[in-house]
Structure 1
Amino acid sequence: RPAAPFTTSTLQQEASRKLRLSAKQTMDVAQSLYQEGYITYMRTDSPTLSTQAITAARSQAKEMFGEEYVASAPRVYQGKNKNAQEAHEAIRPAGEIFRKPSEVASELHGRAFELYDLIWKRTIASQMQDAKVSTTTAKIAVFPLPNGDRAEFTASGTVVTFRGFMAAYEESQDEPRNEDEQEKESKLPNLEISQKLDALDVTAKNHQTSPPPRYTEASLVKALEEDGIGRPSTYAAIISNIQNKGYVIKRGQALVPEWIAFTVIRFLEENVSRLVDYAFTARMEEDLDEIANGNLDRSSWLKQFYFGAGDNPGLHSIVENIGDIDPKALNSMDMGDGITLRTGKFGPYLEIYTNPGDEGADENGRRIINIPEGLAPDELTLAKAHELIEAPVLVDRVLGVDPESGFNILFKDGRYGPYVLIDDPDAKKQKTASLFKTMSAETIDLET
């Protein structure tokens, strides 16, 4: 079946998958298209089309692909989200007659054209026929085996016999997050019943369950919507905030948590767990909807939220009873073998205690090993920690003479990573500079 017309969340998801746009970029472009009259309002949780829009979509589908590609009856879509407000219809091309992408190509360029094209195709496809497929399962028997038994293998293949809506648009998919979603369609070669096959190779595979893939902006927006967290107007802001605050970074399309995120989550879960509970947040979103609709009094709700009522202790009481916080304990994790991971102001590091005077250790035997930038938390195993500890200690050295001041330029490996400085003994504060990401601490020289 074709996918429903776009809501805010599905537009952000699909624009991320197909156009590689962030949630914020998608909303910025959509805002521009809306203001210029190309699409309807872009903040909506309703997949419903107006009667005029359905007529326009069906008419263009018939014109572009033929009557046999148009659904026999108008398709009416309903939102699956129980918290949906549905104050606006789905995101679609504006007007009673949709302008084809070819008709706006001279007016829209780059991302604006790509997003309009995506919205137009999705809207047209939503009123088209289902695609038809044919699935064949072949059973392949192997006998006799050395022990006299019989083994049977199966293989399935699927082919599209009628493209239907797929002639206009195919929805992209996120990387599957569990084993049940990982089956992929494939085609079988031409086979006949009782046909004898030669085994070219037989391989025994040890199947292990893989962890779910990292979230992308698309899959995170989808998860937020499923959990009832956020609304069409806030999805992009949520995604932007966790990146701007340094809680996650992007590797390609993947969102990778930073070390500071684990410290923040640990603090919240240990001290204000109720406020970071998914169900609590979803209920709060529902209450805010009720306030917006005039069904709840804002002042009364805020008073109850802050001072509490019944089983709810209130934010004021929770914060007042947090007690003393030990930042060092909060930022520390025992990795085993006497290795402690700590997250400091300038990044994560490993801490071990050896003999005073050992290479890299201070007078108390404490040694600090910086975590290389770019090493994700899930990549720091105990084995990796030992590898970092056993790596050669970077030695302070003279790189050369600064031509302007005449003082030596020194390389040092400090608490916050490797850096260079001008060794001016009379300076109140020596000039320093951190190494660029492209520089190697082992090979840096004066020219570099």
Structure 2
Amino acid sequence: MGRGHGRGATPSPRPRLFRQPRQRPHLPPARRDDFRDRQLTAYHSPEGTVVLAWRTLPENRWQVHDTGWKGNVRDAHNGISLGVSPDGILHISYDHHSHPLRYRRSARPLDPTSFGGMIPMTGRRERRVTYPEFVNLPDGTLLFFYRDGASGNGDLCLNRYDVPSATWQVVAHPVISGEGEYNPYWMRPAVASDGVLHLGWVWRRTGDASTNSRVSYARSRDRGRTWENSRGEPYRLPITPKTAEVIDPVPEGSNLSNQDTSDADSRGRFHAVYRKNDANGVSQYHHAWHDGEGWRISAVSDFGEAFVMKGGGSLRNPLSRGCIFLDRADNVYVMYRDNRAGSRPAVIRLLAPDYTRREKFVLSDENLLQWEPAIDLLRWKRDGILSVFVQATDQGDHETVVQQPPTMVQILDWRPPR
């Protein structure tokens, strides 16, 4: 595809960089056919500009467009998020760490070369934005999640794109509030086939990662307007540390990760993966899911070497965040990177229905340094092929810069063995 920025503090891409809607948007037939086989991604060039790349599946011939837009590649928070609305308009938001909103949209449907200048969305709570994320519902509805505020003191806000007026509307400002004492670090939202939107998150009390605690949960049946817990009891918005349902009461100082991922199975049940210490103080990936009666949590890795996640800024952890996705048989997959095993992209498969049997796959022998998993979930759900954004990128602790030359940006297509 091309060479991308590989040095500095940013392990670009962040987990939310490689973004494709989970379902097909409702477009006129010609546009729908065009979109069905279009795959779009973004990355930073060696010069730090935003590059858009796309292909028509199943071909491997990529078209590349350097936008010339500069981003702060020295800060690992400053990722890129892409979205597409039901009218075929492309949306992009990038380069934030408590900065004013940076948002653009295409002038023409499905045309990555037609993005215009930066514009506001709603004009409300757009001065301290971090972690922009576009999410599609099964009917094509495009949502936009972002944090307003800072680590240890921030809120999760939610907007919705209205196609008839071609404008963004406030859904909830905020959905979740730390009330000035915490901020919610949410997981990649899980969208069930029935349209229910599931949201998991952890709370952080300060800018120090060691103050992460309490894995929490909410779901919405009406595009994010109202929310309830797993028992169907409604929340009064915003959801706060005092009112949130706790899946796993992980205390501070437990190496609990943040900004992890979630997915939904064929019965609409929520599944999540995150890291926390086991009884021996060793950080393991844990799988949490709702079995229809209550929450079940189990470790899915058996690493033997401990490490401590502590301090502010992005950290050079030996383990990546886990990336969870489920297949049509409800088997669970957890993708990760382990520096102690060559920093290769690997997957743990947990076999349904009880998820006690495990299999492991290594997708590539390439050392990816501080790479974080990023996938095309739509193609996986539709075709059973996982497209993985792969780039060897490095970073130091606490946003420190390391010397790393530009590296190749690739999409690895993987079909798991039966």
Q: TM-score, normalised by structure 1?
A: 0.20
Q: Which has the higher contact order (CA 8 A, sep 6+)?
A: 2
Q: Higher strand share goes to which structure?
A: 2
